[in-house]
């Protein structure tokens, strides 16, 4: 089993050197007097210690044991409850929450960094607290003061946990089809009836109560997404003081038997006239829910990043130790009967791909989180608007590409282990199985792709895309005199122009055949993702070169960063051309067969 080691040095590189968090957050009064480099590092160290010593050691056992289900009661794997209690004691549940309700008021960026470590060390365990954070965000933004005092305070303290209940068996990502009903009651509450499936952390033994955030329809509500409302449905009813009362009529009727994330209970939840409370306006539930869903999508992106990181760590250690054959240029370890497989170019290529995806994904996830903080805290309306638009544009890219690259990294990890990677005891195949879900939940890669191209790019008439290309232009102009960056800037400029041209090409074709959008969307997302990574890798290369020019004492770290940037540009960025060629072929080949013609 790979031994998880939190990548604190690289996390600090992105936070302090690339994003300059301490300096950039001084502009926000909320953080000016409390956020500094030392404090951030202290949080990272505490979280790393928890992840390495509390939840990483139970990761493989939780996969093998899974959750236990007995007549509606779910028991989590051995060690989960103790780890959760320790997590609460350390105060991590309240990290980013509003201080008015018991939170610490730290920035989203810090939570995302800690979330990376949680997911990398024990994906299944991390999901329990991850769902709670989304419930907190929804209540913070849309709950009444009474709802905040009753439910939010308990979520922040970690005494209760939360879920989101969207999916129904006949309605996956198309939420307009949901049938769960909400009937108004004389006391102002609602009676919720229906069945939800795929509810992560829907039932467990970690906390005394679970707060379900549920989508349902009111009587006579409009059809489709315009007729959905949002409700709080607690596992146990509570009185006005927030004290637990009788069990609510919400029951877990089954847990799913899954390919991976065995330690997390994925539940079928039945609501049988359960008591619920409306959040936000009637028939505006989906708008409120997007607070939760967007949080979850960035969280899922971080899971993909974590998969790349742990797969890389495991593969790297194995490649250094496993011996097989000799290097083509002659024996590198003549004292051994064969060389370590890390000397072979094919193995190096897989390792470098994992490293480039992990470090590039970290840069994108943290970059996104920084803009989320700007939206939350800036008093500059123009700055907030730009950050909000960048988030809208980059969230589908992050969710889809970080998870897809996480899956590719996991595959490379098994491949480097060879036959041993296919064996359970080494833990690499668990990473593959756990990572596979990330491209599915919170909107599949294909749905994210359509969202990016159809809604974010074409519907905005290219405005959201231009925000990103403007960042590229700005970086190129500011650094055009830097000869060390010339190779990066030349490719960035070329790709930026190409990006705008292919977008215009698709838009023009779509005017005659809307299917062109769907046919091009997945390639468009991959293509866009590699360019966004190229921008971030160029920024990281600039910082690394500056540190080397200053005669840093960490020369090896920064040289490795430059070499990884070079690998990304020379070996991975070429993939854009394959996706470009595919987009240009259009929809005809994709749509050529009628549905009945698919039959064998």
276: left (phi over 0), alpha (psi -120 to 50) or beta: beta
Q: Indicate the pLDDT class of residue 294, thresholds 50, 70 and 90.
A: confident
| Average pLDDT for 413-437 | 97
Q: Please list the residues that pair with 229 across neighbouring strands.
A: 216
What pLDDT, on the 0 to 100 scale, is given for residue 172?
A: 72
Reported CATH class of domain 289-445: mainly alpha
> Between the CA atoms of 149, 154, 155 and 156, what dihedral angle is there, to the nearest 10 degrees?
80
pLDDT at residue 2 in the model: 86
List, by residue number, the catalytic residues.
442
pLDDT at 176: 78
- 128, pLDDT greater than 90: yes
CA proximity to 299, closest of 128, 153, 51: 128
pLDDT of 287 above 90: no
- Mean pLDDT across the stretch 286-312? 88
Give yes or no for residue 196 having a pLDDT over 80.
yes
| SS3 readout for 121-161 | HCHHHHHHHHHHHHHHHHHHHHCCHHHHHHHHHHHHHCCEE
- pLDDT grade, residue 292 (50/70/90)? low
* pLDDT tops 80 at residue 315: yes
Q: How confident is the model at residue 177 (pLDDT cuts 50, 70, 90)?
A: confident
Mean pLDDT across the stretch 83-108?
97
Over residues 498-512, the pLDDT tens digits come to 999 999 999 999 999
| Whole-structure pTM value | 0.97
Coil vs helix vs strand at 578: helix
Residue 584 has pLDDT above 90, yes or no: yes
State the span(s) of the chain assigned CATH 1.20.140.10: 289-445
Nearest to 190 by CA among 287, 280, 253, 252: 280
Q: Which pair of structure tokens corresponds to residue 597? A: 């013609």
How many CA atoms does the CB half-sphere of 323 hold within 13 Å? 10
Q: Is the pLDDT of residue 454 over 90?
A: yes
Answer whether residue 31 shows pLDDT above 90. Answer: yes
Q: What pLDDT is recorded for position 408?
A: 98
Q: Is the pLDDT of residue 444 over 90?
A: yes
Average pLDDT, the chain: 96
Q: Which pLDDT score, from 0 to 100, does residue 291 have?
A: 67
* Radius of gyration for the alpha carbons in the chain, expressed in angstroms and rounded: 24
* 537-560 tens-digit pLDDT: 999 999 999 999 999 999 999 999
pLDDT at 471 over 70: yes
pLDDT of residue 313: 98
Asked if 153 contacts 164 with a C-beta cutoff of 8 angstroms, the reply is no
At 296 the pLDDT is 76
pLDDT of 550 reads 97
pLDDT for the residue 242: 86
Confidence class of residue 301 from pLDDT cuts 50, 70 and 90? very high
Mean pLDDT confidence for 38-65 = 98
**pLDDT tops 90 at residue 297:** no
For 519, phi then psi, to 5°, come to -65, -30
- What local confidence, expressed as pLDDT, does residue 33 receive? 83
At 354-405, the pLDDT tens digits run 999 999 999 999 999 999 999 999 999 999 999 999 999 999 999 999 999 9
User: Any alpha helices (H) in 276-341, and if so which ranges?
Assistant: 285-321
**E strand or H helix at 29:** helix 29-32
Share of the chain above pLDDT 70, in %: 99
* Six token digits for residue 196: 């939800």
Question: Cα–Cα distance between 254 and 125 in angstroms, integer?
Answer: 19
Residue-wise pLDDT tens digits, 133-159: 989 999 999 999 999 999 999 999 999
Model confidence at 333: pLDDT above 70: yes
**Which H/E stretch holds residue 493?**
helix 486-512
d(CA 473, CA 142): 38
């Amino acid at each position: 089993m790979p031994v998880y080691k939190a990548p604190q040095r690289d996390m600090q590189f992105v936070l302090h050197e690339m994003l300059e968090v301490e300096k950039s957050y001084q502009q926000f009064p909320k953080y000016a007097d409390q956020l500094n480099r030392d404090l951030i590092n202290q949080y990272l160290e505490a979280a790393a210690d928890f992840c390495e010593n509390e939840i990483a050691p139970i990761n493989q056992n939780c996969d093998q044991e899974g959750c236990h289900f007995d007549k509606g009661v779910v028991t989590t794997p051995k060690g989960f409850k103790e780890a959760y209690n320790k997590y609460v004691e350390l105060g991590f549940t309240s990290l980013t929450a509003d201080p008015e309700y018991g939170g610490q008021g730290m920035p989203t960026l810090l939570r995302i960094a800690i979330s990376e470590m949680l997911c990398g060390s024990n994906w299944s365990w991390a999901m329990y607290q991850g769902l709670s954070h989304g419930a907190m965000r929804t209540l913070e933004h849309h709950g009444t003061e009474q709802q905040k005092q009753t439910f939010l305070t308990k979520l922040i303290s970690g005494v209760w946990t939360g879920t989101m209940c969207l999916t129904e068996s006949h309605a996956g990502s198309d939420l307009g089809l949901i049938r769960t009903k909400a009937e108004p009651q004389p006391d102002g509450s609602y009676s919720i009836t229906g069945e939800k499936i795929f509810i992560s952390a829907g039932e467990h033994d970690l906390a005394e109560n679970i707060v379900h955030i549920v989508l349902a329809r009111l009587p006579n509500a409009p059809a489709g997404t315009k007729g959905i409302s949002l409700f709080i449905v607690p596992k146990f009813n509570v009185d006005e003081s927030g004290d637990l009362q009788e069990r609510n009529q919400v029951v877990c009727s089954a847990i799913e038997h899954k390919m991976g994330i065995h330690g997390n209970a994925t539940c079928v939840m039945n609501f049988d006239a359960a008591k619920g409370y409306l959040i936000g306006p009637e028939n505006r539930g989906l708008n409120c829910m997007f607070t939760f869903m967007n949080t979850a999508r960035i969280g899922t992106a971080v899971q993909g990043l974590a998969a790349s990181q742990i797969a890389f760590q495991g593969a790297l250690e194995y490649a250094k130790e496993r011996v097989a054959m000799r290097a083509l240029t002659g024996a590198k370890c003549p004292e051994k009967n064969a060389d370590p497989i890390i000397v072979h170019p094919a193995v190096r290529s897989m390792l470098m791909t994992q490293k480039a995806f992990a470090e590039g994904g970290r840069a994108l996830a943290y970059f996104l989180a920084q803009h989320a903080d700007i939206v939350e805290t800036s008093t500059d309306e123009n700055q907030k608007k730009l950050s909000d638009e960048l988030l809208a544009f980059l969230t589908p890219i992050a969710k889809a590409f970080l998870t897809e690259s996480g899956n590719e990294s996991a595959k490379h990890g098994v491949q480097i282990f060879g036959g041993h990677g296919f064996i359970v005891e080494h833990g690499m195949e668990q990473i593959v199985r756990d990572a596979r879900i990330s491209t599915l939940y919170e909107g599949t890669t294909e749905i994210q792709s359509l969202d990016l191209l159809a809604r974010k790019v074409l519907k905005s008439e290219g405005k959201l895309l231009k925000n990103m290309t403007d960042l590229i232009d700005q970086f190129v102009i500011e650094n055009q005199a830097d000869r060390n960056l010339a190779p990066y800037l030349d490719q960035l400029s070329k790709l930026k122009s190409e990006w705008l041209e292919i977008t215009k090409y698709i838009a023009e074709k779509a005017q005659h055949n809307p299917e062109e959008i769907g046919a091009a969307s997945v390639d468009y997302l991959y293509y866009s993702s590699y360019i966004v990574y190229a921008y971030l890798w160029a920024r990281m290369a600039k910082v690394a070169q500056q540190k080397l020019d200053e005669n840093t004492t960490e020369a090896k770290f920064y040289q490795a960063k430059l070499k990884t940037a070079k690998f990304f540009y020379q070996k991975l960025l070429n993939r854009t051309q394959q996706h470009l060629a595919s987009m240009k072929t259009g929809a005809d080949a994709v749509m050529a067969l009628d549905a009945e013609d698919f039959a064998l």
